[in-house]
Chain A
């Protein structure tokens, strides 16, 4: 069975600080990887995704993530966060032969103005 681990439950940063949120998954086969963001009071929406090709993926709002297959990791990064990035971030894995997507527990990011 696939599983996803997000190491940080709550991260607090000041504006302009750099961000890295960890995500590790356990599954031996081919996977699709996702980061979703949930702004306060809203639904989850896609931030970025990796299917194949360049392991460095760029998403919306200046976010990027790097797939490191040997480490089973897909960490999310942003060089300079803004107050509007305050949200909950979910890493998700969809194994190609599994029907469902598996989500991590989420990381709450609070950016102080």
Chain B
């Protein structure tokens, strides 16, 4: 299995631009998580899905952030408009039997 696949691996954009991060979970895993990691705030859970349904989005910072999971094999995290404070590494993870499997992460830099 290829593991959790995220794209892009790196993105540099300017303030105000829309950013879309993508995630393909491991086949058969029915829970998907989006995390954000920064030096200042550490690892933060943004949102998670069970069977494609958003369960808890209390970690989403504000309305500029949105996430979707249209099917079991794909999820997106969108930031519109982006701001410099959104610069972070965004990790997607899928879960099976309680264990999280993380993707390589998407490093976002907003100038």
Q: Closest Cβ of chain B: how far from A39's Cβ, in Å?
A: 12
A63 at the interface (CB under 8 A from B): no
Q: Closest Cβ of chain B: how far from A6's Cβ, in Å?
A: 10
A90 at the interface (CB under 8 A from B): yes
A101 with B43, Cβ < 8 A, contacts A43-B104, A43-B105, A44-B91 known: no
Residue contact A49 to B99, C-beta cutoff 8 Å: yes
Residue contact B98 to A94, C-beta cutoff 8 Å: yes
B31 at the interface (CB under 8 A from A): yes
Q: Which of A90, A94, A101 has the most CB of B within 10 A?
A: A101
Q: Chain A residues with Cβ under 8 A from B45's Cβ?
A: 100, 103
Residue contact A99 to B50, C-beta cutoff 8 Å: yes
Residue contact B95 to A101, C-beta cutoff 8 Å: yes
Residue contact A99 to B105, C-beta cutoff 8 Å: no
Give the tally of cross-chain contacts (CB within 8 A). 46
Interface residues on B, range: 20 to 34
B25 at the interface (CB under 8 A from A): no
Q: Chain A residues with Cβ under 8 A from B55's Cβ?
A: 99-100
Residue contact B102 to A99, C-beta cutoff 8 Å: no
Partner of A101, one of B50, B100, B104, B105: B100
- B residues contacting A by CB (< 8 A) are 31, 33, 42-43, 45, 48, 50, 55-56, 91, 93, 95, 98-105
Query: Can you list 17 A-B contacts (CB < 8 A)?
Result: A32-B98, A34-B98, A45-B102, A46-B100, A46-B101, A51-B98, A92-B100, A99-B31, A99-B48, A99-B50, A99-B55, A100-B33, A100-B45, A100-B55, A101-B98, A103-B43, A106-B43
9 closest pairs, A vs B, by CB? A32-B98, A43-B102, A44-B102, A94-B98, A99-B55, A43-B104, A105-B42, A43-B105, A103-B43
- A residues contacting B by CB (< 8 A) are 32, 34, 36, 42-46, 49, 51, 90, 92, 94, 99-101, 103, 105-106
